[in-house]
A and B are shown apart, each in its own frame.
Chain A
Amino acid sequence: MKELPFMNLSPVYIEISQGWLKALRETDGLDVPLERSANGQLTAACKETLALSLHKFLGRKGWQPRARALCAIGANGVSLRRMALPPASRDEFSKLVRLQVETEFPLSPDELSWGYRKLDALPANGAPSRQELLVAAVKKDRVEEYAGVLFAAGLNPVFTPAAMARAYLCPHPLGSCAFVDVGQTQLEFVGFENGIPVALRVFPWGTEKRLDSLAKAIGGKTGKVYITGSNGAPGEIIAELRSKFGIVCEQLDAASGAGQSAAVLGLRKASEENNGPALLLFQAAAKPASIGSFKFSQPVPKKWAVRVAALLAVLLILPYAEALLLKGHLSKKLAALKSGQGKMSAIDQEYDFLRYLKLNGPPYLDALYLFAKAAPPGARFESTSMNRRGDISLRGSMQNAQQVTDFRAKLIDSGFFDRVTVEEQVPTPDRQKVNVRITAQWKPVEKRAGLAIGPTRDEIEKAKTNTVGQGNSPARGGMPPGMPAGMPPGAVMISR
């Protein structure tokens, strides 16, 4: 599938030396020190740290494709050969190269990671046409070890010798020259003749004897010698080579920022400017099997997918699990509540009983209060009879017929009575008063509910004052303690 431009990550340029890894992506750089075991391979901890650092450095999203990595590796173990092959078709040519590699190198092609670059050599007059190649090979284990780590970090790496990558810092065609890179513990030398690398060697660094070897390798045929390195030593080497061996050297300025080295910058220049010959790349596929067992190598989206699936499963199962887990508990609680329903029926019964008692309490005192309040001065009641159905009968006397009429009007106006009937009104023989017999019926409880019957605050105060003024005699007007209503003055119950 063709990747869309916005999805692509910019390429990463990497150099892996014996002691460090430098990575450059656009303007961002990364330096990671390397730790190797006795056999020169990276330790497991180092691989993990390296992969994690690169992973973090890249910041690649799960949906983005792997970034392409141009990776330069040190000259240790790298061999260069020039070969000439007869012309052949493309398929056969590859087989021929493989056969030639098998002949030229001490290891079989399966054990090597190798690559080649076609050279533009002119055939000699009369000679048969042959294709010249420059072949570079290194032990497969080494490249695959790096490829595994870089693949795990989310990169799609290709490899090339760092010594050849540095040459891209100089303008092409190169002609005959040499490049010496000064490392922490070794010097990498590559010699060019007519722009074609012919010698690639590594010298231990730190003793004069080794510089002798380097000077010997440079020899007198080589033109300019370019020195690279970032640890401050190139200046010393240049001076020493000039003073002791008469070799003129030139230092190549390579930026010394994070992730930058001569090889890294050379790779970038080769990739971006497309000048000079194509890079010689090792044929090495990054096999996921060689990645190892880094924890982060689990794809992040898969991890999240597993979490989401688990969450969905929990959401699906939870309602059923709730039913299974809580059903018993809820049943017990419900049974306990239902057993308490007997108490509710008792509450119902007692409530209704007391309510009935309240509603059926006959308002005898209210009736007596209203009689006393409505009674005109001089009125006398001889007997009163009431029952809980509301039937009232009164017998007494008043001064005249007008008082009887007023008395009845006041009772009706109180709103307490349904009807008030003067059944008998007879003047006394001396015509001084009238004897009356009155019957009445009070209203049902629901119609009496809104009435305010009883003495007002002022009447209570007045009754108290009268009580005090009359020698605190309950028999002469004031109501005894605990009475809800005071009997107003003027109402007298006859006693013989």
Chain B
Amino acid sequence: MRTLTDHEKRTVRRATIGIAIYLVLFAGFQMWKFMHKQRVEYLQLVADATQLRLKVQAYQSRAESLKRMMEEYHLDPAKLSRETIVGEASSAIQKAASASGIQVGTVRESASRGSADEIATMQFEGSGPVPAVTGLLNRMQTLGYPLVIDSVQIAPDTRPGMMKLSLTIVILNFEKWKTPEATHA
């Protein structure tokens, strides 16, 4: 093999240095691009995490309010069962009426028609003294079931000191419940 002259050696050396510099710059640029992309993604993640943290913090106060309401109504919607709620609610109403001093009369249940917000409607009739009537009305919301008294009728009974009470009670559908429009409720 021919020996390289000094000039050729110098040329080869310069070319090698040039290629090395190019490779270093190219690789460096690629590396920087990769790192920059990673950093941008990381910053996006940090922003998402911050947003999520704020959202969770906002939910903490909402969760506390929910807990207070659940304690107030003795009601945990997660534990209710659509299949048994009507029977359980009917039984609870009758027990509460008896405990208040009301003689339970006719009780009619009818499945709700047309409204997805209601599971069933109950007609409850009974008789008792005035304190018993007001006591039952007061306890109705703390029985542990989503009950709304649709209508109340109080009329005199044939027996002295007794009142005849007629209630229409709606059992709300806690599963398919939607936010209703404001009513005069």
Contacts and interface: CB of A to CB of B under 8 A. Distances in A.
A365 B158 contact: no
Contact of B56 (A337, A387, A484): A337
A382 B185 CA distance: 25
A359 B185 contact: yes
B122 interface: no
Contacts of A451: none
A355 interface: yes
Contact of A382 (B35, B152, B156): B156
Interface stretch (A164-172, A210-218, A287-295, A345-353): A345-353
Interface of B: 35-36, 38-39, 41-43, 45-46, 48-49, 52, 55-56, 59, 62-63, 65-66, 69-70, 72-73, 75, 77-78, 100-101, 129-132, 134-135, 137-139, 141, 146, 148-163, 168, 172, 174, 177, 179-180, 182-185
B172 to A, nearest CB: 7
Most interface-central of A324, A351, A444 (chain B CB within 10 A): A351
A485 to B, nearest CB: 8
Contact of A386 (B148, B152, B158, B160): B152
28 contacts: A320-B36, A333-B49, A344-B56, A350-B78, A351-B62, A351-B66, A352-B177, A354-B66, A354-B70, A356-B177, A357-B146, A358-B69, A360-B148, A360-B185, A361-B148, A362-B185, A364-B152, A365-B134, A383-B155, A385-B152, A386-B151, A442-B184, A479-B135, A480-B135, A495-B163, A496-B158, A496-B159, A496-B160
Contacts of B149: 362, 364, 388
Contact of B129 (A349, A445, A474): A474
B138 A352 contact: no
A482 B157 contact: no
Contacts of B49: 330, 333-334, 337
A55 B170 CA distance: 98
A327 B153 contact: no
A445 B182 CA distance: 9
Q: Which of A331, A338, A362, A445 has the most CB of B within 10 A?
A: A362
Contacts, number: 184
A496 B157 contact: yes
Contact of A320 (B35, B48, B132): B35
Contacts of A494: 156
B62 A347 contact: yes
Contacts of A382: 155-156
A356 B179 contact: yes
Contacts of A389: 183-185
Contacts of A359: 185
Interface residues of A, number: 61
A333 B50 CA distance: 12
Given A320-B39, A323-B35, A344-B59, A493 B138 contact: no
B130 A482 contact: no
A322 interface: yes
B134 A479 contact: yes
A184 B39 CA distance: 73
Given A386-B152, A496-B156, A496-B158, A337 B42 contact: no
Interface in A416-449: 441-442, 444-446
A483 B134 contact: yes
A384 B73 contact: no
Given A352-B179, A493-B154, A483 B162 contact: no
Nearest to A327: B42
A480 B148 contact: no
Contact of B159 (A344, A478, A495): A495
A390 B152 contact: no
A385 B164 CA distance: 12
Given A337-B49, A493-B154, A478 B77 contact: no
